[in-house]
Structure 1
Amino acid sequence: MPCVLLLEAAGPESGALVATAVASGYEVHAVTQSETHAAYRADLRNLLTGCLLTDFACPAQALHDVVTYAHRIGADAVLTTNEYLTPLLAKVCASLGLPGNDPAHADAARNKAAMHEAFARHGVTAPRTFVVDDKNQLRRLHTTERIIFPYVIKPAEGAGSAGVTVVHDPAGVAAAWQAARTPRGMYGMPLDPCVIVQDYVEGTEYSVESLTQNGSTTHLCATRKAVTAGNHRVEVGHSLPAVLPPYVERAIHQEVERAIAAVGIHNGASHTEVMLTPDSGCVVIEIGARLGAGQIGFLIQHALGIDPWKALLDTALGYPTDLTPTRDDYATVRFLTSPRTGRLASVAGLPTTGPGVPVVHLRTAIGDAVREAQANHGRLGHLVVTGPDADTVDRHAEFLLAQITIDVVPEPAAPNSLDRPKLRPSQAGAQESL
């Protein structure tokens, strides 16, 4: 019986991976932190044979803990769907002699500064990028006109569009800078404090979902993305497979393969975000050494009949992978977002699941605090729509979205200190001593 060790079992992609491994007769262990483990659902706990608790914020200790545990349980494969843990995964696999990615370049699939240095070395077409340590460096970029509006500011090690801002004029610079310095890493992991400044690329956004085994890459599909306009670009829809002219597809795949090589992906999934410019050029924005999140793995199953979870397991175990599509359908996910800041009062008009609508999920509870989404983690829920072709599915999805009403009530305003009754000195002293 193969023994699989998963770096973090929380989240929908990890849960699907665990369920697939157990259904295949594998023994599954997980590595996580104590606070995350406490939130594991009972059904997930029941699928796991064992669990190691470590501190991901201490990389050297975590590496030692995971390698020691893997030896003890006789792990045949180690893998993750968590972007924050991909550098650790590469080091673990190298230490154990298991299929994995190049540990010397694994940080470049997480850290945007290292990523774009790697892109430059490998000739990847990418936005002009500056790494900025402080506001004075940003000012010098402006005064020397090395960067012009609009441009993008983002954290070096963020994820899920957190802290990413499109800056259109000088008035937006200060807030964008602060946003790029605000995101925190999962598990209390320290992040690179540098800020990335990039040229803004006009075009249509896609991602390419790929699987590499022993250095040979198969592109599963391209995903068309629906993204909000304005300063913060939140992904509100993913649709696949995107059909592109053959010459465009070839150009995209060429750039994606350069990006995969640049960050040392040898065994595992990759999710590459690209912009297709109006002249059909391809610009690589960034890459992750993981399967695409935001329901993309599930869409691949619905539309193409490919089991991405089994493919990930086979790759990690060194088994041959079968990536032949068994369906010729189309699938989309549409995400729900809040229209304003406040408390979620109600969500009406959600469709029921059934043929063509396999998933409807509200992740935010009624009464929870919500705000206009500025990053992917601010989405309230989603629905998945499937069908035989893009036009049919997209029309159905838009119709269903139009039926949904999200009611958000504003938070009560905080009392204004000017409206409070003034206290006499004795009263003020008593108040302070409470």
Structure 2
Amino acid sequence: MTTPVMLLEAAGPEAQALARAAAASGHTVHAVTTATVHAAYPPDLHQLLDGYLLTDFAHPEQALADITRYAHQIGAAALLTSNEYLTPLCARACADLGLPGNDPDRAVAARDKAAMAQALEAAGVTTPRTRAITGPGELDALHAAGHLRYPCVIKPADGAGSSGVTVVTDPEQLYAAWHAARSVETMYGMPRAYGALAQDYVTGREFSVESLTQDGATTHLGITRKHLTAGAHRVETGHSLPARLAPADEAKLHEQTEKAIAAVGIRNGASHTELILTPGGRCTVLEIGARLGAGHIGVLIQHALGIDPWQALWDIALGRPPKVAAQSSNYATVRFLTSPAAGRLVSVNGLPDIGERTPAVHLRCAKGNLVAPAASNRGRLGHIIVTGHDPAAVDHLAEKFLRQITVTIDTGSPA
């Protein structure tokens, strides 16, 4: 007998991986989405789904009522989302349905970054000093009072994927940074948060910890090393997993991550915690999401560690013990392609072939599309994944492939 399960939004690489994992296990998969997004589902995704519910995520109370009614109608045994914008709604729906989920009263702290900063500080998590800003005049006042240290970070309270995030090095950049933070569109027409955040800038090496929690007990799957651009926009250009760290540094990352997980009420499911290790050895939590890391981190976990994070998440959602022990000790990295200039994409040449060392080579941007240098993670043109046993050799090969790739842009067609 098949078991019906529900997925809050099936669009996107991580959500589709969850849908495939559920279908492969014999579950009937039902998606909850909007009419506009559902119309853009690719044919292979439609084939995976046994049913769907159309609702309006911009009205969470109505969406919650729709979800619970549909779940009762089909006898849903599990409810999951990989979409950061929908994690608070998912927590509330799981609570109403009596399904394993996160604390509905604290789930907003893993989405609204102002609430997150308050929750982390209250729990004693080491985190950058953060101030909620309701207007650009408050930035002037903070600067005049000497309460802004440069560089600082201005970012939206409700953003994702580094959209609208600016590293400000001079007070003359504050207004532009404010408007960049406020110009980011939310998904599904959701109402905007009240303002933006001004945050201390923390120098050091950036990592993320990928974790699974069941009934409040957490297992860390791995630590991801981040590859970032410099300048005003710190775009993630790659991830490598597992990061090779001294045991003391690894312990610091895990300690702060576990405190952050508890602070935002993650009880059942994945978490993706972004942290900085400073040159002095201090560990600072930047953000935490109640979801598995995006940017193909789940695929890296599969290739490097032999763990199926998608199946593990369904096991947790169904109340079953997940398989989270590493089955291999390999290494995997993903590198993202970006545009060197603004204009129209003419060609991408020199991509490696898919093979044992390069299991994924993908372009997400079609020729002829308008592109620009990435100002957020959404500006990526595609990616390559490289795997192997030796981290240095894998990273070297990934960099070699990137040097061989030529992205040609017609700059006469401005983006």
Structure 1 residues without counterparts, runs of 5 or longer: 415-434
The residue type paired with residue 276 of structure 1 is L
Distance, in Å, in 1 between the alignment partners of 2:195 and 2:263 is: 21
Q: How does 1:239-254 map to 2 (within 5 A)?
A: 239-254=240-255
Per-residue CA deviation, residues 85-113 of structure 1 (Å, 9 max, x unaligned), is: 00000000000000000000011000010
Partner of 1:397: 398
Give distance in 1, aligned partners of 2:31 and 2:290. Answer: 19
Cα offset, 1:359, TM superposition: 0.4
SS at match of 1:237: strand
Aligned to 2:340: 339
Does structure 2 conserve the Cα–Cα contact (< 8 Å) formed by 1:155 and 1:193? no
| Counterparts of 1:216 and 1:360, CA distance in 2 | 36
Aligned 1:270-281 pairs, distance under 5 A: 270-281=271-282
Aligned positions of 1:179-198 closer than 5 A: 179-198=180-199
Q: Which amino acid aligns with 2:210?
A: E
Distance 1:177 1:9 in 2: 32
CA distance in 2, matches of 1:171, 1:253: 38
Provide the secondary structure at the position in 1 that maps to 2:69: helix
- 1:84 Cα offset (Å): 0.5
For 1:226-305, list aligned pairs within 5 A: 226-305=227-306
Match of 2:376 in 1: 375
Q: Secondary structure at the match of 1:229?
A: coil
Query: Are the aligned partners of 2:143 and 2:171 in contact in 1 as well (CA < 8 Å)?
Result: no
Alpha-carbon offset, residue 44 of structure 1? 1.0
Q: CA deviation at 1:281?
A: 1.1
- The alignment status of 1:107 with 2:108, answered yes or no, reads yes
Query: Deviation digits for residues 337-392 of structure 1, max 9, x if unmatched?
Result: 00011000111101110110000000000000001100000110000000002101
1:172 aligned residue = 173
Letter of the 1:240 partner, please give it: L
Opposite residue 291 of structure 1, the aligned amino acid is L
1:146 partner SS: coil
Could you tell me whether the CA contact under 8 Å between 1:204 and 1:277 is conserved in 2? yes
Quote the Cα distance in structure 2 between the aligned partners of 1:80 and 1:57.
Answer: 16
Is 1:58 paired with 2:59? yes
Give the direction of change, closer, same or farther, for the CA distance of 1:174–1:24 in structure 2 (3 Å limit): same
Aligned structure 1 segments of 4 or more residues deviating by more than 2 angstroms: 411-414
Partner of 2:18: 17
CA distance in 1: counterparts of 2:412 and 2:156, whole angstroms: 30
State the alpha-carbon separation in 1 of the partners of residues 19 and 137 from structure 2.
Answer: 48
Provide the residue aligned with 1:308 in structure 2.
Answer: 309
Deviation at 1:413, TM superposition (A): 7.5
**In structure 2, C-alpha distance between the alignment counterparts of 1:32 and 1:10, rounded to whole Å:** 9
**How much has 1:171 moved relative to structure 2?**
2.6
Report if the CA contact (8 A) 2:370-2:414 is conserved: no
**Mapped partners of 2:123, 2:313: distance in 1:** 26
Report which of the two structures shows the higher radius of gyration computed on alpha carbons: 1
Equivalent AA in structure 2 for residue 207 of structure 1: S
In the TM superposition, residue 29 of structure 1 has moved relative to its aligned partner by: 0.4
* Cα deviation code 1:41-82 (max 9, x no counterpart): 111111111000000001100000000000000000000000
Deviation digits for residues 90-143 of structure 1 (CA, Å, limit 9, x no counterpart): 000000000000000011000010001001110000001110101121111101
* Conservation of the 8 A alpha-carbon contact between 2:153 and 2:165: yes
Counterparts of 1:144 and 1:212, CA distance in 2: 43
In 1, are the aligned partners of 2:227 and 2:237 still within 8 Å (CA)?
A: yes
Q: Which runs of 5+ in 2 are unaligned?
A: none
| Secondary structure of 1:104 counterpart | coil
The amino acid of 2:3's aligned partner reads P
TM-score scaled to structure 2, two decimals?
0.99
SS of equivalent residue, structure 1 residue 30: strand
Please tell me whether the aligned partners of residues 252 and 283 of structure 2 are also in contact (alpha carbons under 8 angstroms).
yes
Q: Tell me, what secondary structure is at the counterpart of 2:140?
A: helix
Aligned residues, how many? 414
Distance 1:143 1:14, change over 3 A: same
For the 8 Å contact 2:342–2:414, the answer to whether it is kept is no
Q: Which amino acid aligns with 1:311?
A: A
Q: TM-score, normalised by structure 1?
A: 0.94
3-state DSSP of counterpart to 1:140: helix
Q: CA deviation at 1:170?
A: 2.1
SS at match of 1:310: helix
**Residue 145 to residue 322, structure 1, CA distance change in 2 (3 Å):** same
Q: Which moved more, 1:403-412 or 1:31-40?
A: 403-412
1:94-173 to 2 correspondences below 5 Å:
94-173=95-174
What's the counterpart of residue 356 of structure 1?
357
Q: Distance in 1 between matches of 2:105 and 2:121?
A: 17
1:44 equivalent in structure 2: 45
Q: How does 1:2-13 map to 2 (within 5 A)?
A: 2-13=3-14
Question: In 2, are the aligned partners of 1:181 and 1:193 still within 8 Å (CA)?
Answer: no
1:213 alignment partner in structure 2: 214
Structure 2 distance, partners of 1:44, 1:332, is 26
Asked whether the 8 Å contact 2:307–2:325 carries over to 1, the reply is yes
CA-atom RMSD in angstroms: 1.0
- After superposition, the Cα gap between the structure-2 partners of 1:412 and 1:49, relative to the gap in structure 1 and judged at 3 Å, is closer
